[in-house]
Amino acid sequence: MALRVLGVDPGLTRCGLGVVDVQPNRSASLVAVGVVGSSSELPLSRRLLVISESIDEWLDAHAPDVLAVERVFSQTNLSTVMGVAQASGIVIAAAAKRGLPVAMHTPSEVKAAVTGNGRADKAAVTMMVTRILKLAVAPSPADAADALALAITHAWRSGPGSTSALGELTPARKLWLEAEAKARKNAEKSSRQRR
Amino acid sequence: MALRVLGVDPGLTRCGLGVVDVQPNRSASLVAVGVVGSSSELPLSRRLLVISESIDEWLDAHAPDVLAVERVFSQTNLSTVMGVAQASGIVIAAAAKRGLPVAMHTPSEVKAAVTGNGRADKAAVTMMVTRILKLAVAPSPADAADALALAITHAWRSGPGSTSALGELTPARKLWLEAEAKARKNAEKSSRQRR
């Protein structure tokens, strides 16, 4: 009954990939995490091919219900933003080709969701991801932790009340949302009983 | 003995696609031209899927020797540059997946190659493309003409002396370059004979 989310922090040198299973009661567990990428000395076409082949492998291997990608802004890091945008285009199209819903979240949305602070630094995000997923070792590098944070954020943010932002509702998501609503009701009931 | 080039002017609303066959004597003929794209009201994932499916169709249908893409700059048109970069990433990866060489040319390189003026306007580029390809009707919209101009530019610029910029030399290109060198020698010989 878990929602499986593949989070992607796009980039050419380091593209973070993280898969988590999130239960209706919001508890999340790690399925897979990694970083792919290539040297900036390679031709752009080779570098984009690495991203294209990697995302296809991850989608095949882990069969996520939804893809969550970091929303790229043209305002920041002008020197690398083109490569990031090209990589994100490839990743989004790969998911769309399989009929998967694609969601985008900004870095500050991710920081706010996992740490409670939209301006948290990378160390704080990594620490909270490690804690949320109950990992013995912190995921590294930061791009890997960011991908996991994105995946967690997406599952948490797309709960009841925010589904309209999603646009597309797959049968798996629908079931998950219903189960999450039930879990919430039970939690409220037991908290009332405790009073 | 022609070099077949697929030129792409990337974009989400209008992505220009143009295929030309260029002979070693630099004469060029139209194979196919078109524009694909989608409404800006659709979700980004759907829009990128249109680009992804279209480039695969064009690569299948026309089997070009090389892909030429407009080099995207982050400096210009900040509002649309992200979509352009995402589309170009998909197009480049699709060609790389098939083992095709990918070349990039700037708008001013294209303008200079087809009109002799790096600051030529769109009307001048369209007029010269129409003349070079001996078309009865000018290709329209401008994105379609730009894609053809890119393809012509690539074939012309990648002649002897500039091959190093290409990086990858397919057997077809090698043969074409040899034939072009021969055609040049013959042209020089006959020009000497005319004197």
Q: Considering A9, A21, A65, A180, which one is annotated as catalytic?
A: A9
Residue A150 · residue A9 · CB < 8 Å: yes
Separation CA A113–CA B131 (nearest Å): 58
Query: Chain A to chain B, count of Cβ pairs less than 8 Å apart?
Result: 92
* C-alpha–C-alpha distance, residues A78 and B73, integer Å: 10
- Over residues B58-81, mean pLDDT: 85
**Is the pLDDT higher at B117 or at A169?**
B117
**Catalytic member of A65, A143, A146, A180:** A143
CB A160 within 8 A of CB A180: yes
Interface test with A, best of B15, B45, B56 (most A CBs within 10 A): B45
pLDDT at residue A172 is higher than 50: yes
Instruction: Return the residue of B nearest to A167 by Cα.
Output: B43
Among A2-6, A97-101, A167-171, where is mean pLDDT lowest? A167-171
pLDDT band per the 50, 70, 90 thresholds, residue A181: confident
Helix (H, G, I), strand (E, B) or coil at A5: strand
Instruction: Return d(Cα A100, Cα A172) in angstroms, integer.
Output: 11
Q: Which of A21, A65, A70, A180 is catalytic?
A: A70
Predicted confidence band of residue B55 (pLDDT cuts 50, 70, 90): very high
Determine the residue of chain B that is closest to A50 in CA distance. B93
Q: Look at A23-27, A75-79, A138-142, A165-169 and tell me which has the smallest mean pLDDT.
A: A165-169
The reported pLDDT for the residue numbered B154 is: 97
Greater confidence (A143 vs A165) lies with A143
How far, in Å, CA of B38 to CA of B94, rounded? 19
Asked casually if ipTM beats, i.e. exceeds, 0.90, the reply is no
- Compare CB distances from B48 to A82, A92, A167 and report the shortest one's residue: A92
Contact A44 B86 (CB under 8 A): no
Give the pLDDT band of residue A180 (cuts 50, 70, 90).
confident
Let me know: does A115 contact A130? Beta carbons within 8 Å.
no
Residue B147 is given by DSSP the state: H
Alpha-carbon dihedral sign for residues A144, A145, A151, A153: negative
Token representation of residue A138: 């912190």
Confidence label for A92 from pLDDT (cuts 50, 70 and 90): very high
Tens digit of pLDDT for each residue in B57-66? 999 999 999 9
Q: Do A86 and B82 touch (CB under 8 A)?
A: no
Edge to edge, what strands does the sheet with A28-36 contain? Answer: A28-36, A15-22, A3-9, A66-70, A102-105
Q: Which of A49, A74, A85 sits opposite B97 (nearest CB)?
A: A49
Cis peptide before B10 (omega within 30 of 0): no
**Residue B8 has which token pair?**
């792409």
Contact A97 B43 (CB under 8 A): no
Beta-bridged to residue B103, according to DSSP, are B68
Please check whether residue A160 is in contact with residue A181, taking contact to mean a CB–CB distance below 8 angstroms: yes
CA distances from B107 to B8, B42, B68, B133, B137 (A): 12, 28, 12, 19, 23
Domain boundaries, given as residue ranges, for chain A:
3-194
Look at the domain B3-194 and name its fold.
Nucleotidyltransferase; domain 5 (3.30.420)
pLDDT of residue B167 exceeding 60, the answer is: no
Give me the mean pLDDT over the A72-84 stretch.
Answer: 73
CA distance A142 to A128: 12
User: Residue B141, preceding bond cis, omega within 30 degrees?
Assistant: yes
What type of residue sits at position B99?
G
B190/chain A closest Cα distance in angstroms: 40
Which two three-digit tokens encode residue A179?
């189960």
